[in-house]
């Protein structure tokens, strides 16, 4: 059974092959992509700061850096496109009550952060319904 905010086995099977860092991929292999994605899910779904990430997911700075690299490389967008192309797209109902913002969100800097924050926001909106649909 998956912990709160973590992917179930069914959810993981949907996205596992879309993520970089597998044994046959060029470059360094990811130690544990599922643990990393679960860490990202924890931050996004809980609304906590990155530095509050529990130690079981790894060092918060490393997880944040990898999240940012994947965002710039378009990994999250590929995952969303695949999930939304699913003909059984019961999870496409978005609920704005899932979007959380910290007080600091109103005064954030622009620049490259806007790209990452857009991906961050899209990931939060897209994964919450996936979690609910696959858990049922």
User: What is the arithmetic mean of pLDDT over 6-29?
Assistant: 77
Percent of the chain with pLDDT over 70: 54
Quote the crossing angle between the two packed helices 33-46 and 112-135, to the nearest 10°: 100
User: What is the arithmetic mean of pLDDT over 101-121?
Assistant: 59
* More confident position, 123 or 15: 15
Q: Domain extents for the chain?
A: 9-135
Query: How high is the pLDDT of residue 78?
Result: 87
Q: Are 5 and 38 in contact (CB under 8 A)?
A: yes
Q: Are 50 and 114 in contact (CB under 8 A)?
A: no
For residue 47, pLDDT over 60 is answered with yes
Q: Which of 124, 123, 121, 102 has the alpha carbon at shortest distance from 113?
A: 121
- pTM of structure: 0.63
Q: Are 121 and 99 in contact (CB under 8 A)?
A: yes
Calpha distance 83→85 (Å, rounded): 5
Question: What are 60-102's pLDDT values in tens digits?
Answer: 999 999 999 999 989 888 888 877 776 665 555 555 555 566 6
């Amino acid at each position: 059974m998956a912990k709160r905010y973590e992917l179930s086995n069914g959810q993981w099977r949907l996205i596992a092959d879309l993520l970089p860092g597998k044994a046959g991929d060029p470059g360094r292999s990811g130690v544990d992509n599922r643990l990393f994605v679960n860490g990202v899910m924890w931050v996004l779904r809980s609304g906590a700061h990155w530095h509050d990430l529990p130690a079981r997911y790894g060092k918060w700075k490393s997880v944040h850096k990898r999240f940012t690299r994947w965002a710039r490389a378009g990994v999250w967008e590929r995952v969303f496109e695949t999930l939304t192309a699913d003909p059984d797209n019961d999870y496409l109902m978005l609920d704005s009550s899932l979007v959380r913002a910290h007080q600091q969100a109103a005064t954030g800097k622009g620049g490259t952060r806007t790209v990452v924050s857009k991906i961050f926001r899209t990931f939060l909106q897209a994964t919450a319904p996936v979690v609910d649909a696959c858990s049922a």
